Chain A
Amino acid sequence: MPNPVREPPAWLRGGLLALLPLLVVALYVTGQNYDPGLLAFKSEEGAGGGLAAKLTQSPPPGLAVMGAPRAYDKTNLYEYIDGHADAFISAGFQSLTVADYAVDANAPAPDLTADIYHMGTPLQAFGIMMAEVTPDSQSVTMGQMGFVSGGVGLFLHGPYFVRLGAQGPNAANMDFPAAASAVVAALGEADAGKLRELFAFPDLGKVVRTNYVKQDYRGLSFFKGVIDREFERADGGVLTLFLMQGAPAAMTELERALTVYAQEEGLTPQITSESSAKLIVFQDPYEGDWFVYLTTTRAWGGFAKADAALLDPIRQLANELPPFTPAGEKSP
């Protein structure tokens, strides 16, 4: 018996069905036309173009990338590190790329998050890393300098400071060095020599701590971009030596600023000219004895008595080292 149901004609039903794929195509095409800056809150990827793509292409072993890496700049860093953005921005922050990884790409939360900060210069990257390192951190081989503490790994790679944060059930087994290698591969080569050059300190004992202060070192506005290092001396005492490096003009300016400072404070510094350096010794009623040993591109200083045991290793190092080359400048 034939089906008595009176259906609309086949061409009409076919037409109705054909409308749906057309609608899908129209939706897809319009969906691709958008302003990416609007959705990424106007963020731009930092230096190292294509970093997001490289991070996506080469995830750490055993991990899969979750979604597209996010990018932040100075204008919206607040969105990612609430309440701490200023510390990064004042330390020279340029951009941040954040990539999430998980053992299972469909997992609800990442097992590892890589925060890759472009800090402008290796020194600034070092500075912010030292501010982030906790006292219980263990030094490990990651990038050019690395530390691990609990579920957090920190390392330097050229001007990049990278923070690896592990969370969830896989955090305890996270292979930070392997993850760091994957990030380093995405970032490309960095000149390891450049970083070593930054730490031009003589061997004065066991290194206790190294810090970077971007400006106003010990409250003195003319000390900028200073690295200071604490040494534990053989006699058990602690000595702090600081180092400021820059172009010859910067060192000349530093010398002038020191002279002005001495006048303003009523100090009478002892200035001794050496072959290619100048030793300035202060006897300060508040700070005690302190000194600055100035060369054409470096200034070492210490808040201690300028005796031969301290100055000779500095003199020797100053003679051995080539002039410091600021980033972006050619060596003379």
Chain B
Amino acid sequence: MNMPNIRAIRRIYAIFFFGLFLWLLWILDPQHMKGYETGLILELSPLTAIAGFFTSGTVYLGLAWALPIIFLTLFFGRFFCSWICPLGILNQFSSWLFNRRRPVDQYKNNAYRPIFRLKYYILAGLLILSAFGALQIGLLDPIALLTRSFTVSLYPAINQWGVGPYLNQPIFLGGALISALLIVLILANRFITRYWCRVLCPLGALLGVMSLRAPFRIRRDVDKCTDCNKCLANCQGGCDPHAEHRVSECHACMNCIEDCPEGALHYGLPESRTSAAKPFDINRRRLGEVAVASVVFYPMLKSAVSASTKPQHQTIRPPGSLPEEEFNARCIKCAACMRVCPTNVLQPALLGAGFEGLWTPILVNKIGWCEHHCVLCGQACPTGAIQRISVQEKVGEKPFEKPVKLGTAFFDHGRCLPWSMHTECVVCEEVCPTTPKAIWYKRVELLKRDGSVVKLKQPYMAPDLCIGCGICENKCPVEDYAAVRITSVGETRSKANQMLLKGKS
């Protein structure tokens, strides 16, 4: 049996890892996830590991998977982009799909362009912000971006056709925006092959920097090369294999080796007549400008009103979440927690938690509620922003003294049916899952407008028992703006966001 050539092997890897990404995200639900390492692909990202290390001072255990990628990149170049990265593979496929160029135009399309530097400036800006403590790499890390996009837009869309992975059709805040961004990124490949990877991707830039001294890379034998430029025909990185090779741009796709009619290109160590590599193409002045801009932007970011600077009532975080500052220092906005959430309560925050908290998970209780015995979001989180707590810890069973409190429920008497409309209703009390129930009622006799007397049960909330799960708000029959609502006050994770005077049942 003939062994497949290296390009075919790269394609097998690409299909395998893209399929693995789809599958791991597909099974990320209570019925199917079992013990599978569903966050594996997210955990492979060196950018997540390094930026997270800058912001939190720790490398979360799962992110140790990034270390082999870093090590291999130092020796074998930026192979991750074409062999493993699901967004890179998707971009490559869509670039191939959209490609209607003549061969001569294809050569131009795949030649290096100065705009490719942009990704290094983006990387620099994000890493500098991380060094100060603001983790924003999740906005642009390709794996987090794709996970978020698939969770919030593509998989729900497939579910609309009846074949999706969700038990119930989910909806997401701002899902259309996230969908639109993904579509734009894919369509950009129509104009420049792998537009995202070449121009914007901060992970690609990081790997490019790491690969600068890689001993194993594409090398061109100048004696054999006839300058036919056919190696450019399918080059994925735009790394100029026909000239002085730009190592930091090369995705190790191996297409150039297979396309060279003279056998002038090989992947490996240098030989006597191989060409030199091009120095790293980056403008130091621009880099300095980006650094200054980031340094200036950071205090501006921290001066804005956000859940970090002042508790926000609507910023209700999942059970096990770290305090807001630390949460933002770890959350990469990948939406894995939203994918696994069985009630759809976890939603990508818009600007309610501040710009730092954009697309981080919050509970929107009008959409769902936090299941009393569910801690799966912590299991799915790849960075530890949501800690892996046990059910016993969440509900406060022994040896844990108190349950994890996400917030507190408050009644709006003006909207509550028994309080203001002489109408029987105890739905909130019925669904309250705590033992004893945080919502209780008093039997009262009320005089109606027509003079008749009606016996009702008026609900009350015991703040020391309420865990802020939100099921009362979700099930409240006052549909648009519930008569009982949860706010974040009293949340276990915060020492500051507490009621100054304690309420008692």
- Chain A residues close to B by CB (< 8 Å): 3-8, 10, 13-14, 16-17, 20, 27, 30-34, 37-43, 67-68, 75-76, 78-79, 82-86, 108-109
Using A6-B263, A6-B265, A38-B391 as known contacts, say yes or no to A68 and B31 having CB atoms under 8 A apart.
yes
Cβ of B246 under 8 Å from chain A? no
Using A4-B263, A20-B16, A78-B431 as known contacts, say yes or no to A27 and B4 having CB atoms under 8 A apart.
no
Q: Which residues of A contact B384 (CB under 8 A)?
A: none
What are the nearest 5 A-B pairs in CB distance?
A4-B263, A34-B35, A108-B162, A31-B36, A6-B266
Which residues of chain B in 347-388 are interfacial with respect to chain A, using CB atoms and an 8 Å cutoff? 371-376, 379
Contact (Cβ within 8 A) A14 B3: yes
Contact segment of B47-55, B182-190, B235-243, B253-261: B253-261
User: 10 A–B contact pairs at CB < 8 A?
Assistant: A5-B257, A5-B258, A5-B263, A6-B263, A7-B5, A8-B6, A13-B3, A27-B20, A30-B35, A41-B30
Residue in contact with B35 in the complex, picked from A8, A33, A68, CB distance below 8 Å: A33
Contact (Cβ within 8 A) B261 A4: yes
Q: Which residues of B contact A30 (CB under 8 A)?
A: 35-37
Q: Which residues of A contact B471 (CB under 8 A)?
A: 78, 82
Closest to A19 in B: B13
> B393 → chain A, closest Cβ, in Å?
12
- Chain B residues close to A by CB (< 8 Å): 3-6, 9, 12-13, 16, 20, 30-31, 33-37, 40, 162-163, 257-258, 260-263, 265-268, 342, 371-376, 379, 390-391, 427, 430-431, 433, 471, 475
Q: Which residues of B contact A32 (CB under 8 A)?
A: 34-35
Contact (Cβ within 8 A) A84 B6: no
Closest to A76 in B: B373
Contact (Cβ within 8 A) A79 B371: yes
> B3 → chain A, closest Cβ, in Å?
5
Contact (Cβ within 8 A) A38 B375: yes
> B460 → chain A, closest Cβ, in Å?
17
A79 vs B30: C-alpha distance when bound (angstroms): 13
Contact (Cβ within 8 A) B4 A13: yes
Q: Which residues of A contact B37 (CB under 8 A)?
A: 27, 30-31
Using A32-B35, A78-B471 as known contacts, say yes or no to A86 and B162 having CB atoms under 8 A apart.
no
Q: Which residues of B contact A5 (CB under 8 A)?
A: 5, 257-258, 260, 263
Residue in contact with B3 in the complex, picked from A10, A40, A85, CB distance below 8 Å: A10
> B372 → chain A, closest Cβ, in Å?
6
Residue in contact with A20 in the complex, picked from B5, B13, B373, B379, CB distance below 8 Å: B13
Sample of 12 more A-B contacts, CB < 8 Å, known A10-B3, A34-B33: A4-B260, A4-B261, A8-B6, A20-B13, A27-B40, A38-B375, A39-B34, A41-B391, A75-B372, A76-B373, A78-B372, A79-B373
Q: Which residues of B contact A3 (CB under 8 A)?
A: 263
A307 vs B338: C-alpha distance when bound (angstroms): 68
> A92 → chain B, closest Cβ, in Å?
17
Q: Which residues of B contact A82 (CB under 8 A)?
A: 431, 471, 475
Closest to A107 in B: B162
Residue in contact with B379 in the complex, picked from A6, A10, A13, A38, CB distance below 8 Å: A38
Q: Which residues of A contact B3 (CB under 8 A)?
A: 10, 13-14, 17
Contact (Cβ within 8 A) B427 A39: no
Q: Which residues of A contact B31 (CB under 8 A)?
A: 39, 67-68
Q: Which residues of A contact B265 (CB under 8 A)?
A: 6
A162 vs B162: C-alpha distance when bound (angstroms): 28
Using A8-B268, A30-B36, A32-B35 as known contacts, say yes or no to A85 and B372 having CB atoms under 8 A apart.
no
Closest to B8 in A: A13
Q: Which residues of A contact B16 (CB under 8 A)?
A: 20
Closest to A2 in B: B263
Contact (Cβ within 8 A) A31 B12: no
Q: Which residues of A contact B258 (CB under 8 A)?
A: 5
Q: Which residues of B contact A7 (CB under 8 A)?
A: 5-6, 257
Contact (Cβ within 8 A) B391 A42: yes
Contact (Cβ within 8 A) B376 A39: yes
Closest to B390 in A: A38
> A110 → chain B, closest Cβ, in Å?
11
Contact (Cβ within 8 A) B257 A39: no
Contact (Cβ within 8 A) A39 B33: yes
Contact (Cβ within 8 A) B35 A31: yes
A143 vs B40: C-alpha distance when bound (angstroms): 49
Contact (Cβ within 8 A) B9 A83: no
Q: Which residues of A contact B430 (CB under 8 A)?
A: 83-86
Using A16-B13, A41-B30 as known contacts, say yes or no to A75 and B4 having CB atoms under 8 A apart.
no
Using A30-B36, A34-B35, A76-B373 as known contacts, say yes or no to A39 and B4 having CB atoms under 8 A apart.
no
Using A4-B261, A38-B375, A41-B30 as known contacts, say yes or no to A13 and B431 having CB atoms under 8 A apart.
no
Closest to A73 in B: B373
Contact (Cβ within 8 A) B373 A42: yes
Contact (Cβ within 8 A) B34 A31: yes
Residue in contact with A17 in the complex, picked from B12, B266, B372, B427, CB distance below 8 Å: B12
A40 vs B391: C-alpha distance when bound (angstroms): 11
Residue in contact with A34 in the complex, picked from B34, B40, B431, CB distance below 8 Å: B34
> B386 → chain A, closest Cβ, in Å?
14
A38 vs B379: C-alpha distance when bound (angstroms): 10
> B339 → chain A, closest Cβ, in Å?
14
Contact (Cβ within 8 A) B6 A78: no
Q: Which residues of A contact B267 (CB under 8 A)?
A: 8
> A213 → chain B, closest Cβ, in Å?
19
Q: Which residues of A contact B342 (CB under 8 A)?
A: 79
> A26 → chain B, closest Cβ, in Å?
9
Residue in contact with B371 in the complex, picked from A6, A14, A41, CB distance below 8 Å: A41
A311 vs B35: C-alpha distance when bound (angstroms): 66
Q: Which residues of A contact B475 (CB under 8 A)?
A: 82-83
